[in-house]
Chains A and B, each alone.
Chain A
Amino acid sequence: KNEVEQSPQNLTAQEGEFITINCSYSVGISALHWLQQHPGGGIVSLFMLSSGKKKHGRLIATINIQEKHSSLHITASHPRDSAVYICAARRPNTGNQFYFGTGTSLTVIP
């Protein structure tokens, strides 16, 4: 069993739809990161969370420490949001080592 589980693995949405990607973890963490990877490679850090909720533009990330669960929401989705979204749980006191989820591949259709 992976320490970090993401769902769904694949997601197709119509432009404008509200999207939720879920991440559950089974270990102690110091922070939870959401990353975005477009085809061709580069990874962008979207959020770093240790509690509560953060918002950046159309993206919202939440974390429930007690339930060991985080969600990434995309409002008014757009084709340029098509990417792989990766949840990464930072392991405490390990020099920034992470447990990575297997990623959610999102396709937004115009």
Chain B
Amino acid sequence: DTEVTQTPKHLVMGMTNKKSLKCEQHMGHRAMYWYKQKAKKPPELMFVYSYEKLSINESVPSRFSPECPNSSLLNLHLHALQPEDSALYLCASSLGPNTGELFFGEGSRLTVL
């Protein structure tokens, strides 16, 4: 199994809603990442989890809250988002925090109304 699975694929939410994006991998990878990608731009790193601990937070607003319940799962909780947060949210994993290829999911396309 060399897949990173993200759900949902599409999400539309209002600015007062609370929703979550989910990411799962079963490759035994110990580093997992959330990226945000706007149209025609490269991905921007948001968070890195290393051995289930948050190791990097790239000054992301608190309306985005990551969670790593176990080594296979990564969530991104969303609350009180703004329309400018609409983007493709990509999850990725790698064998370790400084090694290995990045394996990406298909992404969750978020629209905030």
Asked if B42 and A42 make an inter-chain contact with CB atoms under 8 angstroms apart, the answer reads no
Asked if A41 and B109 make an inter-chain contact with CB atoms under 8 angstroms apart, the answer reads yes
- 8 Å CB contact of A42 from B45, B50, B104: B104
Assign chain A's interface to a size class. Answer: 20 to 34
**Smallest beta-carbon distance B29→chain A, Å:** 11
Asked if B45 and A41 make an inter-chain contact with CB atoms under 8 angstroms apart, the answer reads no
Assign chain B's interface to a size class. Answer: 20 to 34
Asked if A95 and B56 make an inter-chain contact with CB atoms under 8 angstroms apart, the answer reads yes
Interface string of B85-113 (1 = CB under 8 A from A): 00010101010011111111111010000
Contacts of A100 in B (CB 8 A): 42-43
Asked if B43 and A43 make an inter-chain contact with CB atoms under 8 angstroms apart, the answer reads yes
A33 within 8 A of B: yes
Question: Chain A interface mostly helix, strand, loop or mixed?
Answer: loop
Asked if B98 and A96 make an inter-chain contact with CB atoms under 8 angstroms apart, the answer reads yes
Please report which residues of chain B, range 41-78, place their CB below 8 angstroms from some CB of chain A when the two chains form the complex.
Answer: 41-43, 45, 48, 50, 55-56
Asked if B48 and A96 make an inter-chain contact with CB atoms under 8 angstroms apart, the answer reads yes
Contacts of B98 in A (CB 8 A): 30, 93-96
Asked if B104 and A45 make an inter-chain contact with CB atoms under 8 angstroms apart, the answer reads yes
